[in-house]
């Protein structure tokens, strides 16, 4: 297996993806961080847009194999699948998702799929309230929506772990002290300071 890593961090709104991906980016040398938000088109035409976007992304990642660079993703096509499963979109993405995941799993990277979740679901209230007070509001955040997303992301992680033995699947409770989470990540990703 290659020494380079692909680290995909997924999880619901308010789980702390930005904080964690920023930390990983600064801690591991030769790392690029990508933040993806998917397509806002929830109609059936949106599926084609998402399909094209994520196929282009996989093509791009394949070109970076053996380039001695680590890649961190704050959301990818896994989010598209979760949002479709939850009924946020008018279409099913599962057929495209399965093909993308198969291609990803065959790449010559050490692949880590990390799901952030909050064991104490009430913590979403505090975090989402803070996000809702930001100067720019992108969407309305609600605890139950994040809890529903969390449950689906954890289910998806179990499915990936069962099917793809070469993908390191880890669920991280991000309710703990940041230093504890950082220590767990350092051990998981095996980087030296």
- Contact 5/137 with Cβ under 8 angstroms? no
pLDDT of res. 3: 77
| Tokens at 59, concatenated | 């093509």
- Contact 116/11 with Cβ under 8 angstroms? yes
**Does residue 193 lie in a domain region?**
no
The runs of H, that is alpha helices, within the chain are 17-27, 44-63, 77-85, 94-105, 123-132, 143-163, 178-189
Query: Radius of gyration over alpha carbons of the chain, in Å?
Result: 16
The rounded average pLDDT for each run of 10 residues, N- to C-terminus, in the chain (193 residues) is 85 93 91 88 92 96 92 96 95 97 96 97 83 50 88 98 96 94 90 58
**Does residue 116 lie in a domain region?**
yes
pLDDT of res. 56: 97
**Does residue 115 lie in a domain region?**
yes
pLDDT of res. 86: 95
**Does residue 66 lie in a domain region?**
yes
pLDDT of res. 38: 77
**Number of domains observed in the structure of the chain:** 1
CATH of the domain at 65: 3.40.50.300
**Does residue 151 lie in a domain region?**
yes
* Residue-wise burial string across 127-151, b where 16 or more C-beta atoms lie within 10 A, e elsewhere: bbeebeeeeeeeeebebebbbbbbe
**Does residue 192 lie in a domain region?**
no
**Does residue 107 lie in a domain region?**
yes
DSSP assignment letter at 167: E
Provide the angle, in degrees to the nearest 10, between the axes of the packed helices 143-163 and 123-132.
110
Question: Which structural domain, as residue segments, surrounds residue 142?
Answer: 5-187
| Tokens at 154, concatenated | 């954890």
**Does residue 102 lie in a domain region?**
yes
What is the pTM assigned to this prediction? 0.91
């Amino acid at each position: 297996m290659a020494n380079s890593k692909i680290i995909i961090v997924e999880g619901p709104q308010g789980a702390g993806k930005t904080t964690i991906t920023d930390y990983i980016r600064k801690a591991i040398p030769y790392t690029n961080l990508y933040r993806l938000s998917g397509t806002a088109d929830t109609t059936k035409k949106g599926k084609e847009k998402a399909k094209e976007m994520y196929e282009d992304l996989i093509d791009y990642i394949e070109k970076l194999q053996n380039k001695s660079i680590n890649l961190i993703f704050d959301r990818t096509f896994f989010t598209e699948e979760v949002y479709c499963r939850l009924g946020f979109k008018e279409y099913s993405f599962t057929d495209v998702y399965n093909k993308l995941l198969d291609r990803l799993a065959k790449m010559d990277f050490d692949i880590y799929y990390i799901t952030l979740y909050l064991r104490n679901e009430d913590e979403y209230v505090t975090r989402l309230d803070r996000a809702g007070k930001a100067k720019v509001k992108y969407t309305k955040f609600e605890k139950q929506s994040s809890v529903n997303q969390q449950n689906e992301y954890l289910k998806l992680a179990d499915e990936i772990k069962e099917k793809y033995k070469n993908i390191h699947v880890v669920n991280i409770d991000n309710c703990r002290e940041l230093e504890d989470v950082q220590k767990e990540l350092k051990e998981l990703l095996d980087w030296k300071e």
